[in-house]
C-alpha cells in the first residue's frame, strides 16, 4: 500500500518565478492538505482540498493556490516567489469520514535564491 | 486564535531515564495528535487522542489527553537513543480539520 508521495524532492528557484508541487494521497484517502514548514518551526496550514474544492485556507496570500484532481491527487502552485517562501512543503492526506489523522508525504524542499 | 504550546522546547536526557513532554492549547479542541519528525524527514503519526481521558501507548511512548485542562502529555519511559527526534503535538476540531501544530520539542537521548 503506497503512502503519500510528493514530487519533486528538491527544487531551486529564483525570486519572482513560479513553482508547482505535486502530491498523490495514500490509497483510500480523499482529502489533501498542504503545509509549509520553515526551518526549526512546526508546519503551518496552507489549505485543504476535498471533492476538488478548497475547503479551508490558512493565513497565506493569494500567491499560493492549489488544485485537486478527480483521482484525489493535488498540486500546490506558488507565484511570484519570495525568499521567505523557502521551506519544506508537506502534503498530508486523510479520509474525510475518519478521525482526520493526516498522513504526511516526504515533502518538497523549496529553495528560493 | 488557537495557540498550541509545547514544553520543553529542547530536552536532552540520558538513556534509561523517564521524562514527559507537555502540550497546552488555548481553545476548545476535539482531537489531539502526536507526530515524530527525524532531521530532514517528514512527519510520522504516533497517536490520535479523541476524547477526554484518552490514553494511548506504543512501546516506550505513552500519550494522554485532558480536554478540561487543555493539556496532553507524551511520556517517555526508559529512553533509548532511537527515540531522538522532534516531537510535535497538533489539534483540530470537528468541522475545522486543519491541524494547528505546537512549537515542537527537540529530544536528544544521550548514551
DSSP assignment letter at B24: E
What per-residue confidence (pLDDT) applies to B111? Answer: 87
Residue B95 clears pLDDT 80, i.e. is over it: no
What per-residue confidence (pLDDT) applies to A1? Answer: 65
Alpha-carbon span A79 to A88, nearest angstrom: 16
The answer, for B92 touching chain A at a CB cutoff of 8 Å, is yes
Please state the rounded mean pLDDT for residues B35-64. 94
Residue B15 clears pLDDT 90, i.e. is over it: yes
Query: What is the end-to-end Cα distance of chain B in Å, rounded?
Result: 41
The answer, for A48 touching chain B at a CB cutoff of 8 Å, is yes
Alpha-carbon span B111 to B108, nearest angstrom: 10
**Which helix (H) or strand (E) segment is B56 a member of?**
strand B55-58
Using the structure block, give the residue that is written with the C-alpha cell 476535539.
B30
- A89 closest CA partner among A112, A72, A68, A70: A112
Q: For testing the chain A interface, which of B43, B51, B93 should be mutated: the one with the most A CBs within 10 Å?
A: B43
Distance of CA B86 to the CA centre of its chain: 9
Contact B42 A106 (CB under 8 A): yes
Q: What sections of chain B are H helices per DSSP?
A: none
Contact, B68 vs B52, CB < 8 A? yes
Specify the pairing of strand B10-14 against strand B105-110: parallel
Q: Measure A15 CA to nearest chain B CA, in Å.
A: 24
Contact residues on chain B for A35, CB-CB shorter than 8 A: 99
Establish whether the linkage from the previous residue to B8 is cis, with ω within 30° of 0: yes
Please state the rounded mean pLDDT for residues B15-37. 93
Contact, A105 vs A7, CB < 8 A? no
Q: Measure B21 CA to nearest chain A CA, in Å.
A: 16
Q: What is the pLDDT of residues A7-50, one digit of tens each?
A: 999 999 999 999 999 999 999 999 999 999 999 999 999 999 99
Which of B31, B42, B97 lies at the smallest CB-CB distance from A56?
B97
Contact, B70 vs B64, CB < 8 A? no
Nearest CA in chain A to B48: A101
Nearest CA in chain A to B97: A100
Split at pLDDT 50, 70, 90, the class of B29 is: confident
Alpha-carbon span B29 to B26, nearest angstrom: 9
Which residues are CB-contacts of A98 (< 8 A; sequence separation ≥ 6)? none
Contact residues on chain B for A106, CB-CB shorter than 8 A: 41-42
Query: Mean pLDDT score of chain A, rounded to an integer?
Result: 95
Contact residues on chain A for B35, CB-CB shorter than 8 A: 104
Which residues are CB-contacts of A71 (< 8 A; sequence separation ≥ 6)? none
Amino acid at each position: 500500500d503506497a503512502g503519500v508521495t510528493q514530487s519533486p524532492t528538491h527544487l531551486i528557484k529564483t525570486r519572482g518565478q513560479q513553482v508547482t508541487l505535486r502530491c498523490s494521497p495514500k490509497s483510500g484517502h480523499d482529502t489533501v492538505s498542504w503545509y509549509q514548514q520553515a526551518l526549526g518551526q512546526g508546519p503551518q496550514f496552507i489549505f485543504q482540498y476535498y471533492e476538488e474544492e478548497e475547503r479551508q485556507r490558512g493565513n497565506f496570500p493569494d500567491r499560493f493556490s492549489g488544485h485537486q484532481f478527480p483521482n484525489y491527487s493535488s498540486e500546490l502552485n506558488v507565484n511570484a516567489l519570495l525568499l521567505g517562501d523557502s521551506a519544506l512543503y508537506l502534503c498530508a492526506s486523510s479520509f474525510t469520514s475518519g478521525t482526520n489523522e493526516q498522513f504526511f508525504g516526504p515533502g518538497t524542499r523549496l529553495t528560493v535564491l | 486564535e488557537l495557540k498550541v504550546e509545547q514544553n520543553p522546547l529542547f530536552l536532552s536526557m540520558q538513556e534509561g531515564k523517564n521524562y514527559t513532554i507537555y502540550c497546552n492549547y488555548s481553545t476548545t479542541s476535539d482531537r489531539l495528535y502526536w507526530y515524530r519528525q527525524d532531521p530532514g524527514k517528514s512527519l510520522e503519526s504516533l497517536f490520535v487522542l479523541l476524547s477526554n481521558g484518552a490514553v494511548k501507548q506504543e512501546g516506550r511512548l505513552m500519550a494522554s489527553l485532558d480536554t478540561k485542562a487543555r493539556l496532553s502529555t507524551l511520556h517517555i519511559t526508559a529512553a533509548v537513543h532511537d527515540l531522538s527526534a522532534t516531537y510535535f503535538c497538533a489539534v483540530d476540531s470537528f468541522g475545522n480539520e486543519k491541524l494547528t501544530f505546537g512549537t515542537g520539542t527537540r529530544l536528544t537521548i544521550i548514551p
